[in-house]
Amino acid sequence: MAEEVSLLSSPSESSTSLLSEISNASTRAFVLAFTVGSCGAFAFGCIIGYSAPTQSSIMKDLNLSIADASSILSIFYSLFGSILTVGLILGALICGKLTDLVGRVYTIWITNILFVIGWFAIAFAKAVWLLDLGRLLQGISIGISAYLGPVYITEIAPRKLRGAACSMSQLFTGVGISVVYALGTVVAWRNLAILGSIPSLMILPLLFFIPESPRWLAKVGREKEVEEILSRLRGENSDVSDEAGEILAYTEHVKQQGDDRGFLKLFQRKYAFSLTIGVVLIALPQLGGLSGYSFYTESIFISTGVSSDVGFISTSIVQMLAGVLGTVLVDVSGRRSLLLENHCWETGTPILALISVTLYFGSYGLGMGSIPSIIASEIYPVDVKGAAGTMCGLASSISSWLIAYSFSFLFQWSTTGTFLMFTTVTGIGFVFIAKLVPETRGKSLEEIQSLFSF
């Protein structure tokens, strides 16, 4: 881990400071928490990528062939693909309140149990409704964990490694998608579902040992535990008094404002800028076609005469390599530059099937896959973080559902028109990021939140 972290730090830092930061971050508690976050992101990616390589085999097992009429195929697979995002919407509705009420760790328990139940419902399904139920449960758990995962990592990581730690954790979402794409070419869909449950089963015993977020503890009045948890995360010999003091002081400042409007508090004028940034960044990947690419990759390849096996393997390799590069650069070049570079590449994707899909997932892994979640988890104060998580989750889920449900119909209508629409969205996103999104690299969460609340 030390070699990886050395690549993630700014070149201007002294070697002494860098080694100290590595030593402080590499405690057992931090490594366990990071492992849980990474496995959760991997499980997330397995679920997202599952429907694309299994489309044909599921249809065969259900005795539905292409000859049965394209409308039947489209309706069935639009439902199977889009019902995941229906669950995402339901999960997004409760994620903020749930994480604020029971804490980050107990919510991770809930999401991983739902992951496992969903996978086994799919693996042992004898009817379509059980397949859809499994995907719905998985969608609910993703709707909760999509915001929870980055929030938990950003709240426990030291500021100089926060972006890299969160990005590396989110990198495993892309790895999960890539692994499922590759395995889907050689493993039967029921066996693939069983394999997909393994990351969540691995997480469950680790949850007994990971610490709660110190910022959540401060929010719920458990101030005495804040410094203790920080010592576990940074190392017993580390002086965490300044960090603990900053967290407690900012939390107390927020509480003294005395606004009890609950969810509606997020819609105050001082949060308008941060709410706009978070919601737009989270929705951009979906409106740019992510769900369509993820759920219907096989259809895209087949329709253009490209071998789906070759396409899936090529896409998997490129996405993983781009994700690693993005993780290395996020705390060096910053969030803004990677987001802008991502959109530059995406606007060229509707050219050739294999090249376009490969470039799309490569650019997604480089920046847009993790950075919107990183920024959204950084910019909201603890008193509105739950409500903001719900809003960001709804923005992502609803836009994802719209694309997932409509993509197959749009694709039949006009492939060129479909990808031109996605290109237009990414172009608008480029302008939005260039003009409005500030850099958050190297700042504490409290400094970032003060910057965005005015």
Share of the chain above pLDDT 90, in %: 16
pLDDT over threshold 80, residue 395: yes
Rounded mean pLDDT of 208-224?
91
pLDDT over threshold 70, residue 54: yes
Helix or strand holding residue 358 (H, E): helix 353-363
Rounded mean pLDDT of 123-147?
87
pLDDT over threshold 70, residue 56: yes
Q: Which of 110-119, 230-239, 252-261, 304-313 has the lowest mean pLDDT?
A: 304-313
Handedness of CA 232, 238, 239, 244 (dihedral sign): negative
pLDDT over threshold 60, residue 31: yes
Which has more pLDDT, 345 or 32?
32
Return the half-sphere exposure (C-beta side, CA atoms, 13 A cut-off) of residue 290: 26
In this prediction, residue 348 has a pLDDT band, given cuts at 50, 70 and 90, of very low
Would you state the pLDDT for residue 197? 94
pLDDT over threshold 60, residue 12: no
Dist. CA 296–CA 357, nearest whole Å? 11
| Single-letter amino acid code for the residue at 145 | S
Q: Where are the alpha helices (DSSP H) in 330-352?
A: 335-346
pLDDT over threshold 60, residue 46: yes
In this prediction, residue 250 has a pLDDT band, given cuts at 50, 70 and 90, of confident
pLDDT over threshold 60, residue 111: yes
**107-111, long-range: CB within 8 Å, 24+ apart, which pairs?**
107/144, 107/145, 107/148, 108/36, 108/40, 108/145, 108/148, 108/152, 108/203, 108/207, 109/204, 109/207, 110/141, 110/144, 111/40, 111/141, 111/142, 111/144, 111/145, 111/148
Would you state the pLDDT for residue 346? 46
Which has more pLDDT, 79 or 76?
79
Would you state the pLDDT for residue 52? 73
Share of the chain above pLDDT 70, in %: 71
- Per the prediction, the chain carries an average pLDDT of 77
pLDDT over threshold 50, residue 209: yes
Q: Which of 277-286, 301-310, 418-427 has the lowest mean pLDDT?
A: 301-310
Q: Which CATH class is domain 27-210+264-452?
A: mainly alpha
Would you state the pLDDT for residue 296? 64
Would you state the pLDDT for residue 128? 76
Would you state the pLDDT for residue 212? 94
User: Which range has the top average pLDDT, 58-67, 251-260, 413-422?
Assistant: 413-422
Place of tokens 């290109």: 423
In this prediction, residue 92 has a pLDDT band, given cuts at 50, 70 and 90, of confident
What is the token pair recorded at 427?
A: 């172009």
In this prediction, residue 339 has a pLDDT band, given cuts at 50, 70 and 90, of low
What pLDDT digit, counting tens, does each position of 252-294 carry? Answer: 887 777 665 667 778 888 888 888 888 888 888 888 877 776 6
pLDDT over threshold 70, residue 229: yes
Q: Which of 133-142, 144-153, 367-376 has the lowest mean pLDDT?
A: 367-376
Would you state the pLDDT for residue 265? 78
Rounded mean pLDDT of 392-397?
84
Q: Which of 223-227, 302-306, 414-418 has the lowest mean pLDDT?
A: 302-306
In this prediction, residue 146 has a pLDDT band, given cuts at 50, 70 and 90, of confident
> What is 151-200 written as a DSSP string?
HHHHHHS-HHHHHHHHHHHHHHHHHHHHHHHHHTTTS-HHHHHHHHTHHH
Neighbours of 257 (CB within 10 A): 12
Q: Kindly list the domain boundaries of the chain, sorted by start residue.
A: 27-210+264-452
For 245-390, list the strands marked E by DSSP. none
Place of tokens 């470039």: 359
Would you state the pLDDT for residue 141? 93
In this prediction, residue 7 has a pLDDT band, given cuts at 50, 70 and 90, of very low
